[in-house]
Amino acid sequence: MALTDSPIYHDRLTAWHNSRLWLAFLAAMGLAIVLGIADVVQKFQPLPPQHVLIFNQQGEPVGTILPILNVQAIPNVILKAGLGDFIHDAFSIDQDKDEEDRLIAKTQARVTGQAWHAINDWYARDLGKHDPRNIWRRTWAEAMPLDVLKLDGIDRYQVDYRVTTHADNNTTITIAPWRATLHVIVGQSKDP
């Protein structure tokens, strides 16, 4: 005598497919649970700082930078554009004093103490002939980055640029090619 609710016959192929469907369902549920736990863990982690403030020795804020853990985290195009902007700001001379002060402040905010001293030594060379803080009234110059190349070694770059100098009320125009080798430091430098 057969049970009243049992099927007339038992199909092994249907039973095999049903067991596979149950296994697939359990695997999908397990994956959903693992992903849900990972999402909850990620949401409750503390957020990284949105920016880092840099202060000088007098306690005045010098600049704001985004936290970056290594140079490889920066896309190459962005890094090259930033290095080109640095060269432009460091070696361009504007005839507007406020604009020149802004260029100097941007340059100073991007470099460490040793690099800032090297740039200041360049500015003071030849009795201050290259110092944009002194010669902006009679001369203006535009530093135009031409090419930025990554050199062998860790975080070293070469920037080829051209400086077009307009002197003597724009009657004397001088174009000079230059090359700078830069070392990119990520994070807070130990150099004051």
Domain ranges across the chain: 52-183
Q: What is the pLDDT, as a whole number, of residue 141? A: 86
Rounded to an integer, what distance in angstroms lies between the CA atom of residue 192 and that of residue 190? 6
Provide the pLDDT for residue 65: 66
- DSSP H or E segment with residue 142: strand 139-150
96 vs 65 pLDDT, higher one: 96
> In angstroms, rounded to a whole number, what is the distance separating the alpha carbons of residues 160 and 180?
6
Q: Selecting from 3.40.50.2300, 3.40.50.300, 3.10.450.230, 3.40.50.1970, what CATH number does the domain 52-183 have?
A: 3.10.450.230
- 117 pLDDT exceeds 70? yes
Percentage above 90 pLDDT, the chain? 16
Higher-confidence position of 20 and 107: 20
Q: What is the pLDDT of residue 155?
A: 78
pLDDT, tens digit (0-9, with 9 covering 90-100), for 40-80: 998 898 776 666 677 777 877 777 666 555 556 677 788 88
Cα-based distances in Å from 148 to 70, 110, 124, 175, 179: 19, 17, 26, 19, 10
What kind and span of H or E run contains 47? none
